[in-house]
Amino acid sequence: MKTVSCLSAILIVSSMFSGCSDQSRETLEQRSNRITRAEMESIAELLGHDLYEGRAPGTRGGDLSEIYLRSIFKFMDMEPGVDGSYFQPFVMKGFSNNGVTLTANETELKYIDDVVGTFTVEEESVDFDREAVFVGFGITTDIWDWDDYKNMDVANKIVITRVNDPGMYNADIFEGSTLTYFGRWTYHIEEAARRGAAGVLLIHTDQSAGYDWNVVKNSWTGEELYINSDLQNSLKFRGWIKESSLRKLLDVQHISLDELYEGSHSVDFQPIELGFNINIAGENSFRDVTNRNVVAEIPGRTEERIVLSAHIDHLGLDPLKEGDNIYNGAIDNGTAVGAMMVVAKVLKEFQEDLHYSVTILGCNAEESGLLGSKYYAQNTDRSNIIANINFESTPVWGASKSLMGIGARFSDFEEMIKDLAQQNNLEYSSFSLSNQGLFYRSDQFSFARYGIPSVWISAGEDELSGEKNYTEFWGKDYHTVRDEFDPEWELEGMKQTIQYVLLLIDQINKTKSPPELKTNLPFPMEE
């Protein structure tokens, strides 16, 4: 009998085991299929707990959420994402008022009932009286050859502007019923600031804003936060006025708001001096607020990277509200952070397969105007970012028939996600709330404005059961104290979201074909 040397035997056994290991190694798809309930619910359950007090930036609960996420990154053995640290601190200016009085035509409007807003100057007592100008939609863009300001100088005046855009009333202009960025309230304020206005009043209707006055109150009656780049202008006040309350002011002057509206639907609209002044006054407090984005890295074979993002903040608590006063934000955005972290966990397990590196960004102050993601995009090396995949208010109910890519249509992401859906016997659906401009209201937009292909991915609204819990959430519980963790959630929609993000990233890594941005985009780009 022929003997085999010890070395030969070792090599044979070694090759047998290594071959067996290669054959039995779990695939990323197999791993995604065994995502557990415990993995999905753990982070959302904690972030949505009362002890986190709604996670408002600059508060105890907000600080806890940052520290917690850093601890999870460390536990998962992920590398620090910003100059050797998991934290990217940035300073915001917080402004709070103790009530606003708005007076015009001998009529005083009530704070909260009629008007809400924020003084954005470092003055303890604010009182200014300025001429009022109606500027229609307050939009100026070459994309649709539209200019509501024309040549009027509104410097040091108070501009009154509609929200939404003209496409809401004429399907043949802008993007019809699909809200563009030029219809977002943030844009109207940005344009008023560029024009040198002293104040801006956004006219609120449920239809044009996409939400009722309660959402405005909940979002605008606490401390408002700004990064310094947003305050380098002449605006003293930014706020909302109820349409019915504005009518009271105009009726005294025998001005028809309906006629003003009608004129603003035309490209030939001219801004209108209303012939009266508005006085805005109140007591103001302000402070510096330091908070932090929380960032980690999973290095791949190249420094080119995909950024995963989800905001960790919510609205905090309202000390003036009776009963339950904590805006827990369990879905907005606890489940999204949870989904992102499960994706990150699985990608870490498959790190050796990653061609592209992956950045995991827990961004802050999204509820204050995408401030954390905006700051990150402004202060990171964008040249090596090939794509951004964002998680926002991830659904927690039954399995869906479809997959959604909010904002996918602006890049090759749409074709990629459609193919992914088809391969898995799913439909590709559009969000029924596209008329509310949701792509511009979450953190993927901070990247898109810099020319980075960006998308918010989610299981669709149409559950296999026929229910539409996700749609109902946005109409009933969004930005209310009812957004709380529920241990009875099915979490099948969350699991789908996680699975298909993993498969999409796997496809990008295997093909080495990242998405490309399309041209003629309906929003302004940053340089």
Spatial contact of 224 and 231, defined as CB atoms under 8 Å apart: no
Which structure tokens are listed for 34? 């065994």
Whose CA is closest to 452, among 411, 417, 418?
411
Neighbours of 428 (CB within 10 A): 18
Neighbours of 503 (CB within 10 A): 16
Q: Which residues pair with 466 in a beta bridge?
A: none
What is the H or E stretch that residue 239 is in? Answer: strand 237-242
Helix (H, G, I), strand (E, B) or coil at 57: coil
Spatial contact of 364 and 291, defined as CB atoms under 8 Å apart: yes
Tell me the CA distances in angstroms from 37 to 40, 283, 308, 424, one per residue in order.
Answer: 5, 49, 21, 21
Question: pLDDT at position 48, please?
Answer: 97
What is the H or E stretch that residue 130 is in? Answer: strand 125-134
Residues 6+ apart with CB under 8 A from 320: none
Q: Which residues pair with 400 in a beta bridge?
A: 463
Q: CA-CA distance, 271 to 268, in Å (whole number)?
A: 10
pLDDT, tens digit, 9 for 90 and up, residues 135-167: 999 999 999 999 999 999 999 999 999 999 999
Q: CA-CA distance, 23 to 316, in Å (whole number)?
A: 50
| Global pTM exceeds 0.95 | no
Q: CA-CA distance, 347 to 271, in Å (whole number)?
A: 54
Spatial contact of 93 and 232, defined as CB atoms under 8 Å apart: no
Question: pLDDT at position 24, please?
Answer: 63
Q: How would you classify the pairing of strands 199-204 and 237-242?
A: parallel
* Residue with token string 């009963």: 323
Give the domains, in start order, of the chain with CATH numbers.
Answer: 27-86+295-335+352-357+395-403+414-425+469-527 (no CATH), 93-286 (3.50.30.30)
pLDDT, tens digit, 9 for 90 and up, residues 215-225: 898 788 878 88
Question: pLDDT at position 437, please?
Answer: 82
Question: pLDDT at position 241, please?
Answer: 98
Whose CA is closest to 27, among 526, 514, 506, 521?
506
* Residue with token string 């977002």: 184
pLDDT, tens digit, 9 for 90 and up, residues 232-270: 999 999 999 999 999 999 999 999 999 999 999 999 999
Which structure tokens are listed for 116? 């809400």
Task: List the chain residues with pLDDT less than 70.
Answer: 1-24
Q: CA-CA distance, 485 to 260, in Å (whole number)?
A: 45
Helix (H, G, I), strand (E, B) or coil at 334: helix
Helix (H, G, I), strand (E, B) or coil at 129: strand
Classify burial at 231, counting beta carbons within 10 Å of its beta carbon; exposed 0-12, middle 13-18, buried 19 or more. middle
Which structure tokens are listed for 355? 């061609």
Spatial contact of 166 and 146, defined as CB atoms under 8 Å apart: yes
Whose CA is closest to 332, among 454, 484, 215, 496?
484
Helix (H, G, I), strand (E, B) or coil at 448: helix
Q: CA-CA distance, 33 to 492, in Å (whole number)?
A: 11
Q: Give, rounded to a whole angstrom, the gap between the first and last alpha carbons of the chain.
A: 77
Q: Which residues pair with 125 in a beta bridge?
A: 283
Phi, psi angle pair for 456, to nearest 5°:
-105, 115
Which structure tokens are listed for 289? 């607020």
Q: CA-CA distance, 45 to 22, in Å (whole number)?
A: 37
